[in-house]
Structure 1
């Protein structure tokens, strides 16, 4: 296969000035390193993402007169270049959008869909009758859902944007052509998936060096294949992704994965057809909504479990004066509310076009009040049982059971705002880091493994596979409004940890009085209805950690939980973009007109 991506080595010299000495072809602009800053405050618009090149792409669109939706699409396209293992046009996601014109929040569901040939026993090995091992499910055509990102771009721009797709793709297209300087995160993510990427000719040729290694930190990486794909979309529109050559190439990759000759990996074929792509639609839906401490919290409805789980937990916590409790006791209630809401999440949430989801009941304050009575002075034995929200949903359904939540996965999140007051919280993903690990030959992007978010159990009442169905997701893009105006927007990658990260940032800000940057930087914990609570070192080894152990909580220590970004609307009219200062190398926050104070 012809290699079309080019990498140029930069000598390992100190400082950004040394990086500028790299020799690149005269016809190409020289990529420059961009400093990361986790917080930016000012006017005119804001962008927060996991990568400075991507945030710069969004900022460029804002400066050219685009709005928050235009900037969000530009930022996401650039993340597909610099963070291709977390989210790209080979995956799907959810947009939550606040319109300053209408004063309302809406959402766009671009979750990947199972092909028409999918059946409930999708992940059952016909030779054994047992579930296929997860690693084999993941790296296969079986796991690949119909990508939704590009249809989502189209719908968001058509209904809420100011610019056409061709204009918002310009920064990302240049970035793919000119290249960017590889950082530690890009190198480590490539290295962690090296064995998979090497097993597919397309992935090897697109993402690895000539000798099959991960690009080194400080080198320049270009993806001319992806630049070509973006140019096709710019010229022909989103339909060029879902009909014609690209659609055929995606379907062929799923049904006949380009395995390197001699590989010993057992790669199962999927059954996607070009017609599955042609039939895909981005769905506009009302958001989930709950009241909390005088504000409204808007999230994503099913098949996302983020809006319902965060909403239920907040309704439970509404019964406790967290602000005036000792911090350890407040966090005890946070953990218990998370476990209770995750029990319901695992029992009831699925694609609501296929499953009767008692969403009204789950989000009712009455049900939250009922669940809050189960929180005692000490840690409950977990997993806790799911409740019965049906009486709060108009009746008619039967209680279900649910266990502990999943905790693995990789995603990316961005947040944008503009000078008119529009806001976007956008989370999109490939599922695992590098998704299925299989790139589409000639087009420069990896395909997702999102169908592994379905249950392998064909009898799962909420989340079994089915033709056209979208698997349950943990993505939790969130917008908070007060008196009809935006207060903040946020979200995170991290699979089920997304939900607990968003919940804790909201509690940090709304209950504990932290600024958004402080709320993001604070050490985090996560309980997805499991016997132990996962927590970062800063919390485990703190007075609050000691207090929680005294209340019967057990911890499993981890390096990091989540990778938040967000935008806050300050009382003096400024915008504050915020990202992680330290976790996973930190994120990138930018504003159009920086101003520390008025």
Structure 2
């Protein structure tokens, strides 16, 4: 009772203080209401309690880290259906302790083969909702490819918890209920017959504590679980014709050939050897791991050791963001663009030495984005859920999944129960110049089969002993990369616990727009100093959400982000 009362009061205190302009600099912020999980050998962190428990049970049955992440994600696609599901896409960074090797899996959605860069001319809103916003889903194929390579348990065992949840009813948590209850979203759902029939079969959207039965999705899971070729049940099997028929009836341009030709890609991960003997493994393009890697490289030996938000560190962290996000505007799908030149520059010793010199002596920022390499703009991505797993054998997985904005395209496949993404909105369109006068990035123009740029950077950091020291990733669109970087800095370099590392107030700057955003908890003296240094600042409500596991001193600690909520479980 005492611990529960403390949990509630600490959450209320943070909420009330968050309404104030600035914290009292002499009165530290209270500890957040997130609960750090302490375990002996393994952990799972998800956004809801049922999903982390499912992941733990998979590990207890002898499943691999990949098995646990797949089962957890299948659950998250139900309890967090507004953000992700098998109608979307996923990135995974996988670390195998026995071999000391890491692997990156790109199962990002792709543009239909019939898509082209001018398909939204005259009406860019078509990219964000409705039939033309739907990209070819990659999620399920990603699960299958990961399981074929790293799975231990039978494929069908991973689907059993999600099937049972669909049949018994998905428990509606606060975040899902909030998405349903938002008046604007409720109207959009009710205007979409396919989504309304799926989410409000009795005419009313569910409330907190209700259970939402999803029998059509259960049938889909059963077909996929029992298929000898796994995900091929959807991509070239028993479900394909029905799924394509649904898409065609909605007006989408995805065909059977799109599904047959879709492949999840194994890519060499981004590798960065950091000080202290640590090695970062993270997601290459079309993910943003190279952006994360550059931020950390720039900041090595640049910061003081004070973990509290202070002007000296923040002004340097923000400058590193601006340089790294400047390069992000030139990234895209490496199978459609030659990224060798930009990738080489991002890792060039001469370039990094020059930027470190500038960041180290910075006293005033520059508000001209071209000074940081920003020549183009790319649209903001949205949504996402991040899941992290550390298995008893030391293997680790970080997975980031999304259908883009809330409930994706606001369409569903009636026969399969799959909510469809609106990932086409993450591409750039040639005719759209943003409000800052910058042209769109040609690297991210639409082409048939191409994958749009993503901010996702699921990461595993390995220590000199080959142990996964930190497994970390985030949700929150363009804030993903900056949030992940700050948690890594807090944990590895400023020696904070994993809970402290996630709790510490964050800042964000993505170069375009030229605005420094900060959370409540950044002291007024620091904000005043940033303004004096030339920054345009804006206070923001919490936007990003990190999930992380740390392994040190013989123990395992896991944490979710109080900004969104979540759950840990472990062994």
Q: The TM-score by the shorter chain falls in which range?
A: 0.7 to 0.9
Q: Given that residues 94 and 427 in structure 1 are in contact (C-alpha distance below 8 angstroms), is that contact kept between their aligned partners in structure 2?
A: yes
Q: Secondary structure at the match of 1:79?
A: helix
Q: Please state how far the C-alpha of 1:37 moved relative to its aligned partner.
A: 6.1
Q: Deviations over 1:211-239 (max 9, x none)?
A: 2x321112222222221111111111211
Unaligned 5+ runs, structure 2:
1-32, 432-439
Question: Is the counterpart of residue 370 in structure 1 residue 375 in structure 2?
Answer: no
Change (3 A) 1:206 1:324: closer
- Distance in 2 separating the partners of 1:302 and 1:450: 16
Kept in 1: contact 2:177–2:207 (CA 8 A): yes
Q: Residue 172 of structure 2 aligns with which residue?
A: 182
1:410 correspondence with 2:390: no
CA distance in 1, matches of 2:460, 2:499: 16
Aligned: 1:197 with 2:189: yes
1:543 and 1:291 map into 2 onto residues whose CA distance is 35
Higher mean displacement: 74-83 or 287-296: 287-296
Q: Residues of 2 paired with 1:380 and 1:546: CA distance? A: 17
Tell me, yes or no, if structure 1 residue 455 matches structure 2 residue 428: yes
Residue 575 of structure 1: CA displacement? 1.4
Aligned to 2:233: 240
Map 1:380-529 to 2 at 5 A. Answer: 380-387=366-373, 401-403=375-377, 406-407=379-380, 409-457=382-430, 460-483=441-464, 484-529=466-511
In the alignment, the residues of structure 1 paired with residue 544 and residue 306 of structure 2 have an alpha-carbon distance, to the nearest angstrom, of 27
**In the alignment, structure 1 residue 214 sits paired with structure 2 residue 214:** no
1:97 to 91, 94, 101: 94
- Aligned to 1:506, what secondary structure does the other structure show? helix
Q: 1:166 and 1:542 mapped to 2: Cα distance?
A: 54
> Secondary structure of 1:564's match?
strand
Distance, in Å, in 1 between the alignment partners of 2:407 and 2:195 is 10
Change (3 A) 1:371 1:298: same
2:12 alignment partner in structure 1: none
Matched ranges for 1:40-51 at <5 A:
40-51=37-48
- Aligned equivalent of 2:569, options 551, 575, 590: 590
User: 1:21 is matched with which residue?
Assistant: none
* In structure 1, distance between residues paired with 2:205 and 2:520: 30
- For the pair 1:253 / 2:246, whether they are aligned, the reply is yes
Give CA deviations for 1:343-364 in whole Å, capped at 9, x if unaligned. Answer: 1111x20000111113233134
**Counterparts in 2 of 1:379 and 1:386: CA distance versus 1, 3 Å:** closer
1:176 and 1:517 mapped to 2: Cα distance?
Answer: 33
Structure 1 position 141, deviation (Å): 1.8
Aligned equivalents of 1:120, 1:318: Cα separation in 2: 40
The counterpart of 2:328, out of the listed 345, 350, 364, is 345
Which residue, 270, 273, 281 being the options, matches 1:288?
Answer: 270
- Of 163, 166, 179, the residue aligned with 1:173 is 163
Please give the secondary structure, in 1, of the residue aligned with 2:344: helix
C-alpha contact 1:45 1:416 (8 A) present in aligned 2: yes
- 1:536-590 CA-to-partner distances (Å, cap 9, x unmatched) read 1222x45433433343333212211211101111222x2111101x213x11111
Is 1:361 matched up with 2:345? yes
Distance of 1:106 and 1:496 partners within structure 2: 23
Q: Is the 8 A contact 1:39 1:590 kept in 2?
A: no
2:77–2:84 contact (8 Å) kept in structure 1: yes
Distance 1:67 1:549 in 2: 49
Q: Secondary structure at the match of 1:538?
A: coil
Does the CA-based 8 Å contact 1:406-1:496 persist in structure 2? Answer: no
Alignment partner, residue 226 of structure 1: 217
Alignment RMSD (CA, Å): 2.0
Deviations along 1:463-500, one digit per CA (max 9) or x if unpaired, are 10001111111111011111133110111111111111
Find the counterpart in structure 1 of residue 18 from structure 2: none
Q: As a proportion of its length, which structure holds more helix?
A: 2
Q: Any gaps of 5 or more consecutive residues in structure 1?
A: 1-35, 126-131, 258-268, 388-399, 593-598
Relative distance call for 1:81 and 1:381 in structure 2 (3 A) is same
User: How many angstroms does 1:414 deviate by?
Assistant: 0.2
SS state of the match for residue 431, structure 1?
coil
Cα shift at 1:505: 0.8
SS at match of 2:82: coil
Question: C-alpha displacement at 1:324, in angstroms?
Answer: 6.2
Q: In the alignment, what sits opposite 2:149?
A: 159
Distance across 2 between alignment mates of 1:70 and 1:282:
17
Q: Deviations along 1:294-330, whole A, 9 cap, x unmatched? A: 22211100111x2111111112112513426982111
The equivalent of 1:33 in structure 2 is none
Question: Scaled by the length of structure 2, what TM-score is found?
Answer: 0.87
